[in-house]
């Protein structure tokens, strides 16, 4: 089964809730998870709920949660040691590292060195089965290398992203500190539920706040 077919099958069989008892949807929305940008690309228009009078596009949070569930199921079919999560965004550092810690996956931050996936002679070469990125535009080197050698890419995409070479879009605000933390917390929760390490009605050890990159003066 191709990656596209596998994702479509998973998307049609959503049954596990990812929010759980720790946080309500109302609280989740205070993180800004659904706040998009003033730009709407063709790739992202189907994920937009409405547009405010000032032109700001708002993402459909139900589609965000649905895609996170699909991603969690897809990831659960792979060994955590073969999953790479990468972010070059400043606010993506803590969410990426905490996700990797909680799930046992491989976390990469800062600059992505060319050849990390494609050059076996590179000292820190990795050969993942799945790659997760926080922004397909900013993290384009990782996306391009993964796509070139047929590695499925899961990406958090805002309303202005062009989702070329992305196999599974998670529509969400990928710029905000709290929003990125919320998405990665939810994705970690979904993964843990689907691998049987957490029940849907059980609290995670960590909160969304634990996934958030803190400012120096906080």
Domain of residue 99, CATH code? 3.40.50.10490
Residue 175 belongs to a domain: yes
Check whether 218 has a pLDDT greater than 60.
no
Host domain of residue 194? 3-211
Average pLDDT over residues 90-104: 96
pLDDT at residue 141 greater than cutoff 80: yes
Q: Does some domain include residue 137?
A: yes
Query: Model-level pTM greater than 0.95?
Result: no
Q: What is the pLDDT of residue 145?
A: 98
Residue 216 lies in a domain: no
Contacts of 201 (CB under 8 A, 6+ apart): 20, 21
- Give me the mean pLDDT over the 92-99 stretch: 97
Within-domain flag for 217? no
The domain tally of the chain equals 1
Grade residue 205 by pLDDT with cuts at 50, 70 and 90: very high
Q: Is residue 36 part of a domain?
A: yes
What is the pLDDT, as a whole number, of residue 154? 98
Residues 52 and 137: their CA atoms lie apart, in Å, by 25
Question: What is residue 16's predicted lDDT score, i.e. its pLDDT?
Answer: 46
How does pLDDT run across 37-77, given as a tens digit for each residue?
A: 999 999 999 999 999 999 999 999 999 999 999 999 999 99
Cα angle 154-36-18, degrees, rounded to a multiple of 5: 50
Range 16-39 average pLDDT:
84
The reported pLDDT for the residue numbered 13 is 54
Domain membership flag for residue 148: yes
Q: What are phi and psi of 132, to 5 degrees?
A: -115, 130
pLDDT band at 164 (very low <50, low <70, confident <90, very high): very high
Residue 197 lies in a domain: yes
């Amino acid at each position: 089964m191709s990656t596209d077919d596998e994702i479509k099958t998973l998307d049609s069989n959503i049954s596990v809730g990812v929010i759980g008892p720790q946080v309500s949807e109302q609280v989740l929305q205070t993180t800004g998870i659904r706040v998009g940008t003033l730009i709407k690309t063709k790739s992202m228009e189907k994920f937009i709920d409405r547009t405010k009078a000032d032109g700001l596009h708002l993402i459909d949070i139900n589609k965000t949660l649905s895609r996170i569930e699909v991603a969690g199921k897809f990831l659960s079919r792979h060994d955590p040691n073969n999953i790479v999560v990468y972010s070059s965004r400043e606010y993506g550092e803590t969410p990426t590292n905490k996700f990797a810690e909680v799930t046992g996956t491989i976390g990469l931050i800062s600059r992505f060195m060319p050849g990390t996936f494609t050059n076996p002679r590179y000292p820190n070469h990795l050969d993942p089965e799945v790659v997760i990125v926080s922004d397909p535009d900013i993290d384009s080197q990782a996306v391009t290398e993964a796509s070139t050698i047929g590695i499925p890419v899961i990406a958090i995409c805002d309303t202005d992203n062009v989702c070329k070479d992305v196999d599974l879009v998670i529509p969400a605000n990928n710029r905000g500190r709290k929003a990125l933390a919320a998405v990665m917390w939810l994705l970690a929760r979904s993964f843990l539920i689907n691998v049987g390490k957490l029940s849907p009605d059980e609290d995670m050890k960590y909160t969304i706040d634990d996934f958030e990159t803190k400012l120096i003066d906080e």
